[in-house]
Amino acid sequence: MTTNQSLQHAIAFAQAHENPAPRDLSHPDAGIFKLDRAPWNRLLGPTAARGPVSGVIWHDGAEIAAFGEPGRADFTFSVAKTYLALLAGVAADRSILIDFDEPVVSKIGDIGFDSGNNRAVTWRHLLQQTSEWEGECAGVPEQVDRYRTLSYQPGAPVGAKGDARPLQRPGTFWEYNDVRINQLALALLYLFRRPLPEVFREAITDPLGIDEAWEWLGYEDSWVDLDGRRVQSVPGGSHWGGGVRISARAQAKIGQMLLACGVANGKRVLSAEWIDALQVPCTVAPFYGMLVWLNRTRQIFPSAPATSWFAIGHGGNITWIDPVLRSVVVVRWMDPPHIDALFGKIAAALNTIRSVDR
């Protein structure tokens, strides 16, 4: 089987295994909010119908395959978390944020980090999801996501989602919690003192030459008064609606910039030091870096190389980056139980290209 045939076989496999959830993302069976306890089991921000299973494959800096509707802008769910990490890198590169182990409260005003254990929460804790921050963001209490367990993380659930799990000291316990991520987004808004979508466009998408329409939307109740103007804080996902709506092709350009250690179109977009920092394993969760998933023990996707790292969102939304394969793969709306098999097929095809190159 030729490389092209192998890729076409992988694409056919993907198209045969679209996520079976409704394409209408406002439907409870298509989202995450249905898992929450009342009254938070509802949408707080906009959503839209999605497209079919789609994807883009880049190798050596160029697109070599695409399928579905790669130019369609759809919500990314938690891939947006990784985009928050990129904004943190922008802050670091601009020397707006120098010490990531500094408590957040020492850098910004009273937005929920000024009492109890919250005073000890650092930027690194928020980026690694070990903050144990306590409170509400945009009216949603972080307890909604306590005891939340994802299929990608090792171990079995130890409690019921939404129960009042006793909080630990910041930095000592890892938990995937979308309210705390939204609190990180709020903190970054106050750090930049500008709307995050505006900064993301200026610092990331414009330098990458992304001219496709994209948007980053917040909740009805996530507006804040900042320096005399009304600004919307945006979430790091689409758990309760909103989030980043962008195309697979645009996501692939972002992934390629990360693969190229922060360079795109011959210019530096993010520092290589920050790209490396993203991939440093969290001490208490070595499968996780700074809002990216790491495959070093091949726990996330056994069929992908151990060098792979990922931005992962609900619904089968994944950006896969691998320096050994010299490739970036974006997959959208794939049925999650079949993603590892798809990655195995794509890796085999890309390895064939590498062997020919040698």
- What domains can be seen in the chain, in order of their start residue? 3-92+192-357 (3.40.710.10)
Q: What is the SS3 assignment for 188?
A: helix
pLDDT attached to residue 285: 96
288: left (phi over 0), alpha (psi -120 to 50) or beta: beta
Q: What is the SS3 assignment for 30?
A: helix
pLDDT higher than threshold 90 for residue 158:
no
Tell me the DSSP string of 109-160. -SSS-SSGGGGG-BHHHHHHT-----SEETTEEGGGGTT---TTSSS---S-
Instruction: Give the tens place of pLDDT for each residue, 16-53.
Output: 999 999 999 999 999 999 999 999 999 999 999 999 99
pLDDT higher than threshold 90 for residue 351:
no
Work out the pLDDT band at 355, boundaries 50, 70, 90. low
pLDDT higher than threshold 80 for residue 3:
no
The CA distance from 125 to 90, in Å, is 18
pLDDT higher than threshold 90 for residue 153:
no
What's the whole-number mean pLDDT along residues 269-280?
Answer: 98
Token pair 């394969």 in the structure block, residue: 325
